[in-house]
Chains A and B, each alone.
Chain A
């Protein structure tokens, strides 16, 4: 089963009085348990595509199936619950909740999905250990470096054991060394947890590390390169 399937997805924005066609009939299949990179020049529509796949933006037309669930018609609350249970997000600016500690940030999605306290604790500690931040559990985001914050964000994205993780330019705010480490970590986590990761990036390191690479231009899929080894 594919992680995400898009059929003739159209999305347009109105900027002042001008209508901008961000996605023009996108047909795409994201494979399960793969790390997929979406690449393209600025304004090509890759972030819009990621937002639509992440169910935080709705397509104007077309069909979207995520983890086997057609999500187009889901009401807002059901869509929120769906995101909490099945999807994880990693953002360019890390987007951690500044008033929560690293531990609590990772714990938050588990609370949303109603995981019991002992299991929650076990899971959070395991995730902190996996991203190498056990010693920073009580630190708030402001007390962590950019790389550490992104590690916490990765742990948070994986905490609730989602089926798909969507990452928007996760290395853009990091130096190349830290960025490489983050990509390596994501790759490692993807393999360990058997999760599908879709990364939107024009970072060559990311594209190189990906199983599949989707190239998008002017709101349309230009090409898809799939690794045969999967």
Chain B
């Protein structure tokens, strides 16, 4: 009867109930849509990182903190064996999608023809493995990324960042759009690298005369003189300088300028020849991609077990994608903070709206409270009646909010709206993930119902404590 009474009392003042309900619905919609939007960004970023660097990486101990750009000191010896152990491990195998090696090195890229150079970070990849990595799509994003630009290219092919192309004055040949030449004309004059010329780049980036000569000889030896060529200078494992002549097939924007200005991608075999020469090749990381992100703890634990037993011959460690890409955690944290702030704000608005509605209901129904108390309803019964009213408002409002949010999300997702998220170069569809995400929906219902219960508590307590005789006098 208390429940029926609460429902009917809500129907009694329809306009006020609808206004209160509308506030809860708007709150639920705002939380769900913004939550769906941030979730999509989070998933998109996670997908980007997992597609490029996997869920986990096996690296030489301390490489992550101290060895960046120093493959000679922090390379993984006999990496094929490590990969075989991982691939064939009965515990790990069902979780794996890709296990692929990568070699990162620091060097100086020079444009022989233009006489310019700059420091770069080059990544040597197994193209087939990288293309497999790019197929991962655990969150059901639309479309599949194209294969790596290096796919099907000769061993000496390279892809550079647009920033690298700009500095090395390759924008024209590589047809890089919006790539203006420098304003200072003195820096535009190509100067041949050689013992008697001055490099146009700052001294720190210029090639020493002997290396320039080596570079020139490499370029002269090119079988395709019309290729767009750069020379990549790096230190070998023995500490001697080595130069690889690379055929640049494409300039790709890397979205983040700092990365764009240093990015060079090449075949793993080429990178290994540059660093290790005729010695046994090594890699700086073994990328491990799993079917699902949720498998990370189990896979990580098993990998650690393998490193401590079967692979204990060399000091290796495992890092997950969040550690390897701190930007991910920062961005997720940033959006979580905004989401939390908005949720609290909405919670407070709902709290006061429902509180006000229930307070007015208590005042209006004072004689009724007196009557109910007189005929034997306990104080707790009165409290329960108003609390149920508040709870019903919260439940109905949040459920209605879910329905409205689903409808709006559908319209947004099919509205053809595009945007370019941070860290991406291409525009993507504006997607709000509400459908298929039960946890946020349940969370909204629970949270808003709790808020309405809390906001009903004080008015209901006040109603329950009204003196019966005073209440009856209001009749």
Query: In whole Å, how far is A80's beta carbon from the nearest beta carbon of chain B?
Result: 4
- Cβ 8 A contact of A112, one of B367, B375, B468, B472: B375
Could you tell me if A51 and B469 are in contact, using CB atoms closer than 8 angstroms? Answer: yes
State in angstroms the CA–CA spacing of A97 and B381 once bound together.
Answer: 15
Most buried by B among A83, A97, A98, A104: A97
Could you tell me if B375 and A89 are in contact, using CB atoms closer than 8 angstroms? Answer: yes
**Residues 46-79 (chain A) with a chain B CB within 8 angstroms:** 51, 54, 56-57, 76-77
State in angstroms the CA–CA spacing of A109 and B376 once bound together.
Answer: 8
State in angstroms the CA–CA spacing of A213 and B469 once bound together.
Answer: 24
Of all chain A residues, which has the CB nearest B380? A77
Interface of B is mostly: helix
The residues of A that contact B376 with a CB separation of less than 8 Å are: 80-85, 87, 109, 112-113
Could you tell me if A56 and B371 are in contact, using CB atoms closer than 8 angstroms? Answer: no
The residues of B that contact A113 with a CB separation of less than 8 Å are: 376
Decide: A99 near B9, CB < 8 A? Known: A57-B468, A77-B379, A91-B472.
Answer: yes
Decide: A80 near B1, CB < 8 A? Known: A51-B469, A93-B475, A100-B8.
Answer: no
Query: In whole Å, how far is B9's beta carbon from the nearest beta carbon of chain A?
Result: 6
Q: Is A2 an interface residue (CB 8 A)?
A: no
The residues of B that contact A56 with a CB separation of less than 8 Å are: 373-374, 468-469, 472
State in angstroms the CA–CA spacing of A8 and B368 once bound together.
Answer: 32
Q: Is B377 an interface residue (CB 8 A)?
A: yes
Interface string of B359-374 (1 = CB under 8 A from A): 0000000011011111
The residues of A that contact B377 with a CB separation of less than 8 Å are: 80, 84, 112
Of all chain B residues, which has the CB nearest A86? B376
**Residues 372-404 (chain B) with a chain A CB within 8 angstroms:** 372-380
**Residues 327-348 (chain B) with a chain A CB within 8 angstroms:** none
Q: Is A205 an interface residue (CB 8 A)?
A: no
Query: In whole Å, how far is B90's beta carbon from the nearest beta carbon of chain A?
Result: 62
Of all chain A residues, which has the CB nearest B376? A84
Q: Is B12 an interface residue (CB 8 A)?
A: yes
Could you tell me if A89 and B5 are in contact, using CB atoms closer than 8 angstroms? Answer: no
State in angstroms the CA–CA spacing of A95 and B106 once bound together.
Answer: 88
Query: In whole Å, how far is A179's beta carbon from the nearest beta carbon of chain B?
Result: 18
Interface string of B1-35 (1 = CB under 8 A from A): 10011001101100000000000000000000000
- Cβ 8 A contact of B12, one of A77, A82, A99, A111: A99
State in angstroms the CA–CA spacing of A156 and B378 once bound together.
Answer: 18
Q: Is A215 an interface residue (CB 8 A)?
A: no
Could you tell me if A91 and B469 are in contact, using CB atoms closer than 8 angstroms? Answer: no
Could you tell me if B374 and A99 are in contact, using CB atoms closer than 8 angstroms? Answer: no
The residues of A that contact B374 with a CB separation of less than 8 Å are: 54, 56, 83, 89, 95
Most buried by A among B370, B376, B377: B376
State in angstroms the CA–CA spacing of A42 and B377 once bound together.
Answer: 30
State in angstroms the CA–CA spacing of A83 and B377 once bound together.
Answer: 9
Could you tell me if B1 and A95 are in contact, using CB atoms closer than 8 angstroms? Answer: no
The residues of A that contact B370 with a CB separation of less than 8 Å are: 95
Could you tell me if A80 and B8 are in contact, using CB atoms closer than 8 angstroms? Answer: no
Could you tell me if A84 and B375 are in contact, using CB atoms closer than 8 angstroms? Answer: yes
State in angstroms the CA–CA spacing of A196 and B319 once bound together.
Answer: 85
Decide: A95 near B378, CB < 8 A? Known: A56-B469, A80-B373, A108-B1.
Answer: no
Of all chain B residues, which has the CB nearest A112? B376
State in angstroms the CA–CA spacing of A88 and B376 once bound together.
Answer: 9
Most buried by A among B367, B371, B373, B379: B371
Q: Which 5 A-B pairs have the closest CB atoms?
A: A84-B376, A99-B8, A95-B371, A56-B468, A93-B475
Q: List 8 A-B contacts (CB under 8 A).
A: A77-B379, A80-B376, A84-B375, A93-B367, A95-B368, A95-B472, A99-B8, A99-B11
- Given A104-B4, A109-B376, output 10 extra A-B contacts at Cβ < 8 Å: A76-B378, A80-B373, A83-B374, A95-B368, A95-B374, A95-B475, A99-B9, A100-B5, A111-B1, A112-B376
Interface residues of A (CB under 8 A from B): 51, 54, 56-57, 76-77, 80-85, 87-89, 91-93, 95-100, 104, 107-109, 111-113, 156
